[in-house]
Structure formats: structure tokens, C-alpha cells
Amino acid sequence: MEAFSISNEILPFGSPLLALFSLVPLYTATFKVKSTKEAFGLWFLQALTVHLVSSWWLANFHDFAIFTLGASALATAFMAGLCGTIVYIVPLYTKKSFVLEENGGKHVFAPFMRILWFTACYLFWEWCKSVDFLGYPWGTLSMAAYSWKIITQIADITGVWGISFLFCMTSALTGEGIRLLGQKRQPSVQSVRGYVNVAKGLCLLFSLTVVYGCVQYLIPRTEEKNIQTVLVQQNCDTWVTGEREAVRVSKELTENTLVDMRNNGIEPDLVLWSEGILQLPFPDYRFVYSAENEAEESLSGFINRMGVPFVIGGTVDVNPYKFHYTNGALFFDAGGNFCGFYSKMHLVPFAEEIPYEDNPLMKAFMENVVNMPSGWRKGNQFVLFTVPIQKNNQYGTPLEYRPEKVARITLDENRLSDWDEREYFIHNTAKNPDAHVSFSVPICFEDAFNDVCRTFHLLGSEVFMNITNDAWSASRSAEYQHFIAASYRAIEYRTTLVRCANSGYSVVVNPAGKIIQDLPLFETVAMSVSVPIYKHTNTIYACLGDWFIYTIIVFIALVILILFIFRIKPECKGFIKHVFSPRVIIYTEEKAESSLAKESVVKKVTVKKATKKVPSQKEAVKTIAKKTSAKKSEPKKSSVKKQSVTKTKTKQTTPKKNTMKKTKTKTTRSSSK
């Protein structure tokens, strides 16, 4: 169910309603498994299915499908299997007494703990698959929730993890309700009351989320400035068409759009081309793109003629001696001069970056088997680009934007002021922030990772301008999934997101997640858009980062730590069976025969115990005589109590002798008779 709730070819933006209950089968199945192996296999199969169904388009990644789809699917499923075993740990190590007390009406919080434990472990899996080197934040519940803008507004507090928490907890609550209704016997009043309390708490969380979402989504936001930008979607896969065709189409689209803008009295401030267009490495080959040719105009000459700064995706040679190349965003000024670059820092595993590339065995394998001798290198520097806004550049810098926090006004010996000090309080020579825009350029799927975008935002980036190449996917679902994953960055940091893709989805999103303007998929087209720039603010998520998921991780660690500290042993492997599917004895012919066989064995044992030899009368007399002689031989003690005890014992033994004599006489009489 989860795979179909995420963006697909039928539902381009997913189905939040289906996502609410997508994990119900996983919840009910998890609490019916009988071993850690079954728990691992269940979660492994769940993650593998979701990944293959929702991200099937990874197989179109040219010659590297075995890594992009196969390796990512196995890695994702393996992490899910480990989280499934963690889910099984707590029920496995719970005492039988707790289970009996819960079934007896105690421990009202037991349903809540089960629901919370399942939700926490599932969020831990989503976090594991979304961060670090093998991070792939696709196929999550938050992606399915995109269409419910009121719910997604809490991302500026909790990130996407709070959204996944609400959806996962709803599925767990539904699964727990199915479990209670499916029991053979009627559930206790206390367990039902505990379940109702959890439902009330979840409804309260949703209500608070809706109220907060309505305020954030409907509140009017005033832009402080805007930047006139041209987005070029040339609809060329440079891996297939090559650089020349992509540059030719991009030039044509750019010039037509700029002419239309200037005819309408709009002066452009920036032009964006997508990722990976220029294939010769910069800065060494920058002269190739500036050399004039009779057949066609050079790239630098074209930019100079347009008179607008450009950002173009290309290759950067960061170390020519070791052949280290990076995937970069190249920056050109209005004169066509190469100004600098930003190198991609979060690379696609197995496609852009080879793990353990310096290892000789891995290097030989990639060269001989995969035919991929080397990959990209990670960038190691965050870069911000600043361009002037032509509309506001005609005004001077207001005095309120003076950068110094402390100033001094001094007079000379003649009680006269200095000319420079007078000018400081009359004219501000610093840059006018209203006439400039600082932006960052996350490349490809970097716009889906907070370790990159959060740093850019804290450094002062006023807008995210992403360039990407998704043409290789050849699917609508891939384009929309990438956009959905990136759209949360606008909400998390309350900033504007601009995406320029070579085949889609090229779009502009405001801080509330609303689409301002977009381009159709897989069409050769360009658009001019006035990108709104809002006041740069630091949200709770921008300041604290992934605090919500870290709290979940600490909770999981504490629960596991408590189990190990107190060394709680698994009293019964069938705890989950005992709790969630009570054992019911079913009488069949085979069981009846086995029970009869057991009863016959028990009868034989009791007969053997009953037919043990009874000691004879002579042996009984001898044993009594030995006990009395042994007591007489013991030294006399001074305590009166012990003497009285021995007297009572002798008194008790004497009648036994008389009885024995009587039995003898009876036996002799009977024999004489």
C-alpha cells in the first residue's frame, strides 16, 4: 500500500489518504512473527517491495542500473530488516507476568507503548535510509503527504520526520484496533480504555497540526525583493545527444526569452541552465568556450551579447595531476567571463561516487567489470553567489544597512569634524542588500538533503536555485518524486525554491510550498519568472536541525539499554503469539491419540510408584530399635527442653512396640486356626 501512495504514473503527487493506512498490514504482521528471523524477513520484504515499485525508474540509469536499482534496493531492505529485529526485541524480552496483567485489565499504557515503539522504529529506518553516504530519501511517508499542505507545514519545526510520525502512528493505531477486534475473547475494559486514550492523543496532535498549518499556509507573506530569472528546459539528455546539441537548443531558448522580456520592459537578472551541459572540465578548458568560430558563436561571446549572468552545470577539474573531477555549477558574469564554481558535495552512491575507490581490488572491478574507471570527487566548499538586481540597483544604500555595530564621532583640536566621518553618516558606501540577492545552487538531488541546504541557509542563502538532470529516468513519476522530496526545503526554511531541470520538473515554490510557476514535463521550453525573495529568517528546524528524529533515536537507545542493564531474559519466545494471537487448543484425532498415549504413560508411572515394596514387620522393628539405641548413646544435655522432647519421643515409640506385639499375636492365632 505504501508504494502506491507515493507519487507514481497514475497519481503524480501521491495519495495522502492511502498513506495514512499504508502500514496497517506491516503492523499486524509484525506482531505475529515468532522469531527475529521472521521479523527481519518481513521488514526486508516490505522495504524491498516499496523501493522496487516506487523507484523502478532507477533501472533506466544507463549502464549502472545494477547499482542504482539493485544495490540501493538491497541496502535499503537490509537496513529495514535490522529495524524489524529491533521492533521484535521489546516484545520478546517482556515478562509473562506483564502479559497476564495486561490481559487481566492492568497496564493501560501497553497499547500506547506498542504503537509508539513501532512508530519510533519505523522512523528510525526512514532516517537511516535518508542520510549519510548511502542516503536515498525517496519512498518515505512524507513524500506521500505532499498534497496535504496544511499537514506539511509543521516541517519548519520537526522537518519531514514529524509528518512521517503522524502518518505512521495512524497506521499503527488502526492496526492495534484491528488486533483488539480480532481477539477470540472480549478485550478487557482497561485495554480498550488505553486504546481510546491513544486515539484521543493522536486526534489532538492532528488538530494542533491543522491549526498551525492553516496559520502558516494562509498567512499573507510580503516579498522584500524579487529577481528576474530565466529557466531553460532544453529537454536534452546530454548522455545521449551530447554537449553540442544541448548548448545549441539552450542558446536558442535563452535568446528568445530574453528578447520577449526586454520587449515587455523587464530587465533579466539571471539565467539558469540545467546540470551537466558543459562536459569539458573548467577552468583549464575555459578558453575553448571563449574561442570564436566562424560556424557558430562561442559560449562566452553569447553570454556577453545577452548581457546577463549565467549559471550552467558543467565539469570541474579540481586536481589535474590526480585526474580528480567534480560535478559543478559554473558561474559566468554578464561579460561572459568565467567567475567561479560550486562543486557538488553529496554524490549519488555507485553512480557518481565509487566506495573504496582507492582500493586496488575495487578499482580493478570497476574498470574491468563495470567499465567505470573512476567517479566524481566530493566538493569541499560551500559557495554563495551574489548578483545585483537591476530594478533596485538605481538607489543608494540606506543608512540602516551600515555593517558596523559600533561607530565613533570625534572632533579635532579645533573642535572640527573629519570629512570621512561626516560622509559616513550621510552616505552609506556598503552594498545595498535590497539591490542584491545571495543564492546557493544545490546540484541534482542535493536539494533533498538537509546537511547541504541547512548549511547554505545558515550561511545567508536567500533562495535555493537547484539545477538537475533527470532526463535519463524517462518517467513522470521520477520527475515528480524528485520535486516532492525537494519541496520540503522551502517549507523547512521558509524560503523560495527554484528548480531548473533539463526535462522537468522546472518549477518555482514559495515558502508555504505553493507552486508559483512551472513548466510541463519533457518539453523544449523556457520561462521567465519573477522569483520572490522574502525576509531571511531562521526557523526552529533551521536552528535545531533534526532534533525530532534524534529524540526518537535516544528513546530507542534507552529502551534497549534498559533491557541490557537489567539483563532481562526472554522468558518465552512465544510472547508475541501469546499476546496478539492467544493460543487455542484445537482437538483433532492426532492430538487425541497423543493425549491418550500420554495418559497411559502417566498411569503406568503411578502404578509403578504404588507397587513399591512395603518394609516387613521385622525390618520396621529393627529400624526403631536402632533409632532408640542411637539416642541413648548420645551424651546427656543440660537443657530441660531437649529432655522433654526425648521423653515424648520414647513415649511415642513404646505404643508402637505394643502394637507390633499385638499384630504378632494376631498372626499366630490366625495361623493356628
Give the residues across from 327 on adjacent strands: 315
Q: Give the model confidence (pLDDT) of 17-68 as tens digits.
A: 999 999 999 999 998 888 889 999 999 999 999 999 999 998 887 666 677 7
- Please compute the mean of the pLDDT values over residues 369-386 and round it to a whole number: 80
Residue 164 grid coordinates: 512521517
Whole-prediction pTM: 0.80
The pLDDT score that the predictor gives to residue 634 is: 53
Which has the minimum average pLDDT: 199-203, 490-494, 547-551, 649-653? 649-653
The pLDDT score that the predictor gives to residue 586 is: 47
* CA distances from residue 370 to 60, 74, 92, 359 in whole angstroms, order as listed: 16, 18, 44, 15
- Please compute the mean of the pLDDT values over residues 496-513 and round it to a whole number: 95
The pLDDT score that the predictor gives to residue 193 is: 84
C-alpha closest to that of 310 among 300, 320, 319: 300
463-468 vs 278-282, strand pairing mode: unpaired
* CA distances from residue 289 to 81, 158, 284 in whole angstroms, order as listed: 51, 46, 11
Domain boundaries, the chain: 18-221+547-580, 225-345+380-394+434-533, 396-431, 585-666
C-alpha closest to that of 122 among 52, 46, 35: 46
470 pLDDT more than 50: yes
Q: Give the model confidence (pLDDT) of 620-630 as tens digits.
A: 556 666 666 65
Q: Percent helix, strand and coil across the chain, each rounded to 5?
A: 55, 15, 35
| Residue in this structure with the C-alpha cell 530519501, named with its chain if needed | 137
What confidence tier does 242 reach under pLDDT thresholds 50, 70, 90?
confident
What confidence tier does 657 reach under pLDDT thresholds 50, 70, 90?
very low
The catalytically annotated residue of 275, 353, 462, 479 is 275
Q: Give the model confidence (pLDDT) of 347-375 as tens digits.
A: 887 677 766 666 677 667 666 665 555 67
182 pLDDT more than 90: no
Q: Is 572 a catalytic residue?
A: no
- Please compute the mean of the pLDDT values over residues 385-393 and round it to a whole number: 84
C-alpha closest to that of 378 among 431, 433, 449: 449
What confidence tier does 231 reach under pLDDT thresholds 50, 70, 90?
very high
Q: Is 444 a catalytic residue?
A: yes
- Please compute the mean of the pLDDT values over residues 307-324 and round it to a whole number: 92
Residue 495 grid coordinates: 524560503
Q: How far apart are CA 504 and CA 272, in angstroms?
A: 13
Q: How far apart are CA 89 and CA 83, in angstroms?
A: 10
Q: How far apart are CA 427 and CA 299, in angstroms?
A: 40
- Please compute the mean of the pLDDT values over residues 383-402 and round it to a whole number: 83
Q: Give the model confidence (pLDDT) of 594-606 as tens digits.
A: 555 555 655 554 5
Q: Give the model confidence (pLDDT) of 526-565 as tens digits.
A: 999 999 999 999 999 999 999 999 999 999 999 888 877 7
Q: What is the 3-state secondary structure (H, E, C) of 549-580?
A: HHHHHHHHHHHHHHHHHCCCCCCCCCHHHHHH
252 pLDDT more than 70: yes
The pLDDT score that the predictor gives to residue 160 is: 96
The pLDDT score that the predictor gives to residue 90 is: 74
Q: Give the model confidence (pLDDT) of 68-97 as tens digits.
A: 788 888 989 999 999 999 998 876 665 555
The pLDDT score that the predictor gives to residue 394 is: 66
- Sign of CA pseudo-dihedral 23, 27, 32, 35: positive
573 pLDDT more than 50: no
What confidence tier does 376 reach under pLDDT thresholds 50, 70, 90?
confident
C-alpha closest to that of 656 among 632, 630, 622: 622
Respond yes or no on whether the N-terminal peptide bond of residue 505 is cis (omega within 30° of 0).
Answer: yes
Query: Of the segments 114-118, 351-355, 387-391, which one has the largest average pLDDT value?
Result: 114-118
Q: How far apart are CA 355 and CA 196, in angstroms?
A: 49
- Please compute the mean of the pLDDT values over residues 133-155 and round it to a whole number: 93
Helix (H) or strand (E) holding 243: helix 243-263
Q: How far apart are CA 155 and CA 640, in angstroms?
A: 88
What confidence tier does 591 reach under pLDDT thresholds 50, 70, 90?
low
Q: What is the three-class DSSP state of 302?
A: helix
Residue 163 grid coordinates: 509528518
The pLDDT score that the predictor gives to residue 407 is: 85
The catalytically annotated residue of 236, 444, 453, 500 is 444
Higher pLDDT, 360 or 343: 343
108 pLDDT more than 90: no
Share of the chain above pLDDT 90, in %: 53
637 pLDDT more than 60: no
Higher pLDDT, 647 or 297: 297
What mean pLDDT, rounded, does the chain reach?
82
Query: Of the segments 126-130, 592-596, 650-654, which one has the largest average pLDDT value?
Result: 126-130
Which has the minimum average pLDDT: 325-329, 377-381, 588-592? 588-592
Residues with Cβ within 8 Å of residue 560, at least 6 apart in sequence: 86, 89
The catalytically annotated residue of 168, 344, 453, 500 is 344
What confidence tier does 1 reach under pLDDT thresholds 50, 70, 90?
confident
- Beta-strand runs (E) in 441-485: 463-468
119 pLDDT more than 50: yes
Tell me which CATH homologous superfamily contains domain 225-345+380-394+434-533: Carbon-nitrogen hydrolase (3.60.110.10)
- Please compute the mean of the pLDDT values over residues 185-211 and round it to a whole number: 88
Measured at the CA of 61, the angle between CA 60 and CA 62, to 5 degrees, comes to 90
Q: Give the model confidence (pLDDT) of 560-572 as tens digits.
A: 888 777 655 554 4
